[in-house]
Amino acid sequence: MVESMIRDSSLAPEGQKKIDWVKEHMPVLSKMGDLFEQERPFAGRKVVMCLHLEAKTGYLALTLQKGGAEVTVVASNPLSTQDDVVAALVAQGIRAYAWYGATAEEYNLHLHKALDTRPDLIIDDGGDLVSLLHSDRKDVLPNIIGGCEETTTGVLRLKAMEKENTLAFPMIAVNDALSKYLFDNRYGTGQSVWDGINRTTNLVIAGKNVVVIGYGWCGKGVAMRAKGLGAKVIVCEVDPIKANEALMDGFQVMPLVEAAPIGDFFVSVTGNKNVVRKEHFKVMKDQAILANAGHFDVEISKQDLYNLAVNVVEVRDNIQQFELPDGRKLNLLAEGRLVNLAAGDGHPAEIMDMSFALQAQSLRYLLQQRENLKPGVHRVPEDIDRQVAQLRLDALGLKIDRLTPEQVDYLDSWRL
Ligand code: ADE
């Protein structure tokens, strides 16, 4: 067995069942796995995946392994790791450094151990691996051909590095592909956030006031599904264009300080820090529910909650209750970490099928094009983006129309 650091290898059969279940619902990735098995595009290559270690990610790791890669997995968040899934991967020859609830030191050690394998290729979710490679682990940089980034926050960090000219290798912004963010960010987050909140709180959403903070693609999904569950939705934004969009999508728009006394549920989806803070907690209703769906646990100020509280109790798994001096109680879900993964299983399998098919194809593209891709942030090529969308339709047995030759000519022409 390859060297690993995991919680309990005896959990492997449970984890394998979870992987087998999602596999049935990820036909696009399965198709790529079949091709990879024949072509072995990653033969002799080491890949480190820093992702949320749940079943769909496990299936991606096994797919790359089929293509000849020597795969190491490490967590992109200490609370999203599913120990049984990780055990199942290790049982299949994948190296893993991760366990649920890793402390900050352990999390950091795991990232270092993964980089000690000196990967050729990386997949990152949120940018922690790239950040470490450009700070404490510059020794590994010469090995790296490039990588792919999964999420909005990670792409923002990469673009900041690119602007400063510090990004040392090509990174493909998988997040920015159309067949990623239009589905994963919007419908994936929309469903998985409510799944996480519902299974954690077991409370009704219909008739409640839901405050969605941030109206990017993820916020749009969260607001849309809250409406579908019967909530009255309020959107808070800092961007006038997005605020107009929210308004015309049928939501109330107001500053958070005005929404704070009204809201029953608050969901932050901004990618920024200290978005929900002291001045808001001070006016919130008793029993308000606070959840975060952004990548880092910085959006809801835990510091302010601890400073204000006279008592903190874990009232139910994944719910910390902060009692304020006047007796009001505020409920923080999943320690303010992304609620869909820290208190759920992440996005549905069919959604991650497209996202992870894009990851697999982009990684192969990176390897094929390594001589031509300069350090910096690159888009997923349009043909890969469209291929993934088409394969998903094929898997569903759905056909769509084609342009006639006359229509193609018409679109290409400027003459009347
Ligand atoms: N499962 C694995 N990675 C995920 C992500 N970034 N978002 C939601 N679910 C996931």
Note the pLDDT of residue 41. Answer: 98
What's the pLDDT at 415? 81
pLDDT tens digits, one per residue of 177-191:
999 999 999 999 999
| C-alpha of residue 286 to centroid of ligand 1, in Å | 32
Predicted pLDDT at 400: 98
Quote the pLDDT of residue 2: 84
**What's the CA gap between 199 and 192, in Å, rounded?**
10
Ligand 1 lined by 189 (C-beta under 6 Å): no
Q: Which of 97, 125, 126, 101 is nearest to 111 (CA)?
A: 97
| pTM of the predicted structure, to 2 decimals | 0.96
CA–CA separation, 91 and 194 (whole Å): 33
**150: Cβ below 6 Å to ligand 1?**
yes
**Percentage of residues in the chain having pLDDT higher than 90:** 99
pLDDT tens, position by position, 28-62: 999 999 999 999 999 999 999 999 999 999 999 99
Query: For the chain, what are the domain ranges?
Result: 9-176+347-396, 187-337
pLDDT at position 284, please?
Answer: 98
Q: Is residue 151 within 6 Å of ligand 1 at its C-beta?
A: yes
Confidence of residue 1 (pLDDT cuts 50, 70, 90): confident
- Confidence at residue 261, expressed as pLDDT on a 0 to 100 scale: 98
Query: 349 CA to middle of ligand 1, Å?
Result: 10
Residues in the chain: 416
Nearest CA among 194, 252, 246, 196 for reference residue 217: 246
Indicate which atom in ligand 1 lies nearest the CA of residue 125.
6
Same-fold call for 9-176+347-396 versus 187-337:
yes
Distance 82 CA to ligand 1 centre (A): 12
Interval 358-373: pLDDT, tens: 999 999 999 999 999 9
The class level of CATH for 9-176+347-396 reads alpha beta
CA of 411 to the centre of ligand 1 (A): 38
How do 289-292 and 265-268 pair as beta strands?
parallel
Q: Is the CB of 338 under 6 A from ligand 1?
A: no
Tell me which residue has its CA closest to atom 3 in ligand 1.
52
Instruction: Report percent pLDDT > 70 for the chain.
Output: 100
Top-tier CATH class for 187-337: alpha beta
Angstrom distance (rounded) from CA 61 to CA 58: 5
Grade residue 254 by pLDDT with cuts at 50, 70 and 90.
very high
Q: Give the model's pLDDT for residue 377.
A: 98
Which tens digit of pLDDT belongs to each residue from 288-344? 999 999 999 999 999 999 999 999 999 999 999 999 999 999 999 999 999 999 999
Average pLDDT of the residues of the chain: 97
pLDDT at position 416 over 90: no
What mean pLDDT comes out for the span 128-138?
97
Residue 191 has a pLDDT of: 98
Ligand 1 probe mutation, 125, 175, 193, 195, most atoms within 8 A of CB? 125
